[in-house]
Amino acid sequence: MRATAYTATHTTKNIDRHGLDTNLYGREATSNAARICSWASAWGIRQFQQIGGPSVTVWRELRRLEADGIEQKLLQKITQAADDADWATYTELMGGVNCARKDRPLRPLMIEQPTTSKYGEVIKTLKGLLFGHFAVRTRFHEWTVRVAQSNADADRDSEELTANQHKEAVQKAADFRAPPQACATLEFCQ
């Protein structure tokens, strides 16, 4: 079996099982994809990212930007390639498939948090992209996980609001519906 056939077979197993009736053990192949996706999700394993290629994280962050507002030509071209879903051009502009990670023009901008995890590990959060010595912010909001109110508590709280307070609460909620487009201003990193 050639390398391309091997890769195509295993990729197909994880997507839609096209062309596969049974797996290696003679079982029906239709259940493979669901089990593989569940396993990968449970263990936080990213599927389909080739080793040594340009970063998929950078690709996704670039899609949050608008190429029109970017003054730096290389960054504009890379962002446009991501906007156009042109992986080949994106790969070429990022230095090709054999370019070392440290030599790529864009890298994820990870910021250490002041707190640690429950295991004492340093927590790093994605905030944008590094373009040489410049930071391009793509994420502006801090999200927190908390327990939601029960419906009874929410109903009681809404009854206690005055008309003006209710109007203000609705306006604040409307302000958070759509995230703002990330601006492509460059900030110098030290």
Domain membership of residue 12 (yes or no) is yes
Dist. CA 31–CA 22, nearest whole Å:
10
Report pLDDT digits (tens) over 15-71.
555 566 676 677 776 667 677 777 878 887 776 666 778 998 999 999 888 877 788
Residue 39 in domain: yes
Residue 49 lies in a domain: no
Give dist(CA 73, CA 67) in Å, integer: 10
Mean pLDDT of the chain: 77
Q: What is the pLDDT of residue 178?
A: 47
> What sign for the dihedral angle of Cα 111, 114, 118, 122?
positive
pTM (two decimals): 0.58
79 and 59 Cβ atoms separated by less than 8 Å? no
Q: How far is CA 24 from the centre of its chain?
A: 33
Quote the pLDDT of residue 107.
Answer: 94
- In-domain check, residue 18: yes
Q: Which of 95, 190, 174 is nearest to 134 (CA)?
A: 190
Asked if residue 98 belongs to a domain, the reply is no
Domain that holds residue 17: 3-43
Q: What is the mean pLDDT of residues 143-160?
A: 66
The more confidently predicted of residues 44 and 100 is 100
**How many folded domains does the chain comprise?**
1
Q: Is residue 120 part of a domain?
A: no
Mean pLDDT of 142-168: 67
Tens of pLDDT, residues 62-99: 988 887 778 889 999 999 999 999 999 999 999 998 89
Residue 28 lies in a domain: yes
